[in-house]
Amino acid sequence: NAGVTQTPKFRVLKTGQSMTLLCAQDMNHEYMYWYRQDPGMGLRLIHYSVGEGTTAKGEVPDGYNVSRLKKQNFLLGLESAAPSQTSVYFCASSTGEGYGYTFGSGTRLTVV
Amino acid sequence: QKEVEQDPGPLSVPEGAIVSLNCTYSNSAFQYFMWYRQYSRKGPELLMYTYSSGNKEDGRFTAQVDKSSKYISLFIRDSQPSDSATYLCAMSAVGRGSTLGRLYFGRGTQLTVWP
C-alpha cells in the first residue's frame, strides 16, 4: 500500500542550482497538491492540480513550477534555488472536493 | 486574518489527561472539517473527518463542529505518550465559490503527553 511516494527524501542544493521533486500516487486520485512546511508558518500551498494536464497557483508559487503530464505524477521544479526555499515539502492527493488528503512523507530540502 | 486560526501551543499534559484542541475559522462556506496528526519528521495523516455541524467519535477521539460559532474542537480522552504529535485542523468548502476542494489548514498545535 504505497499511497503517495515522494522522492528524494533529503537534498542539499547550492544557491542557483535547479532540481525536481517527484510525487507519485497509486490511488487514482484526480487532485494533487504541493505544500511547504516551515516552523511557525504551517502548511502553505505552492501549486495544485485538479487533473492530468492541469495546474494552478497556490499561496506561495513564486520560484516554483509544476507539471502533471500523467495522472499519477506531480512534479515540483525549482529553477534557481534560493536559501528562502529551505523547507520541508509535502505532496498530497485527494479524490476531489470535500475529501481529505493523503500526504507523502516529505522531502527535506536545504539550500546553502 | 488567516482563514483558520489555531493556537500553536505547545501543550504538555500528563498521561491519562483529557486534551482539548481547538480552531476557529472565518469562512462560513466551510462544510468539511478534519483533524490531521503529524508525528515528528513524518507527513500529516487524517485522524478525524466531519461534515457540517455535530460530533463524531472514534475510540478515544471526539471531533466537534459548531458552525454557528465557527469553532471546531478535537478531544482526546485517556491521552497516551503515543499521542504526542502536532495536530492540524483543516477545512474546505465545495461547490459554487469554493476553491476546487482546497483544504485550509491551521498552523498546528504541538502536543506532548508525558508518562
pLDDT digits (tens, 9 = 90+) for B33-43: 999 999 999 99
CA distance A35 to chain B (A): 11
Cα–Cα distance for residue pair B43/A34, rounded to 1 Å: 12
Average pLDDT over residues B51-62: 92
Cβ pair A101:B46 closer than 8 A: yes
> Does the pLDDT value for residue B98 go beyond 90?
no
pLDDT at B22: 97
The partner residues of B12 in beta bridges, in order of sequence, read: B112
Residue found under cell 486560526 = B5
> Does the pLDDT value for residue B50 go beyond 80?
yes
**Percentage of residues of chain A with pLDDT beyond 90:** 88
Q: What average pLDDT does chain B have?
A: 92
Within an 8 Å CB–CB cutoff, is residue A105 touching chain B? Answer: yes
> Does the pLDDT value for residue B95 go beyond 70?
no
> Does the pLDDT value for residue B97 go beyond 60?
no
Cβ pair B44:A105 closer than 8 A: no
Query: Comparing B96 with A99, which gets the higher pLDDT?
Result: A99
Cα–Cα distance for residue pair A44/A92, rounded to 1 Å: 12
Contacts of B48 in chain A (CB under 8 A): none
Within an 8 Å CB–CB cutoff, is residue A32 touching chain B? Answer: no
pLDDT at B53: 84
Contacts of B34 in chain A (CB under 8 A): 100
Residue of B nearest to A44 (CA): B105
Cβ pair A96:B101 closer than 8 A: yes
Cβ pair B95:A42 closer than 8 A: no
The partner residues of A106 in beta bridges, in order of sequence, read: none
Query: Comparing B103 with A72, which gets the higher pLDDT?
Result: A72
CA neighbor of B58 nearest in space, from B40, B85, B37, B86: B37
Within an 8 Å CB–CB cutoff, is residue B100 touching chain A? Answer: yes
> Does the pLDDT value for residue A1 go beyond 80?
no
> Does the pLDDT value for residue B96 go beyond 70?
no
Average pLDDT over residues B31-52: 94
Within an 8 Å CB–CB cutoff, is residue A98 touching chain B? Answer: yes
Predicted confidence band of residue B99 (pLDDT cuts 50, 70, 90): low
pLDDT at B75: 97
Average pLDDT over residues B10-27: 96
Q: Which residues of A83-110 are buried (b: 16+ CB within 10 A; e: fewer)?
A: eebbbbbbbbbbeebbbbbbbbebbebe
**Percentage of residues of chain B with pLDDT beyond 70:** 93
pLDDT at B100: 63
pLDDT at A58: 92
Query: Comparing A20 with B52, which gets the higher pLDDT?
Result: A20
Q: What is the pLDDT of residues A31-64, one digit of tens each?
A: 999 999 998 888 999 999 999 999 999 999 999 9
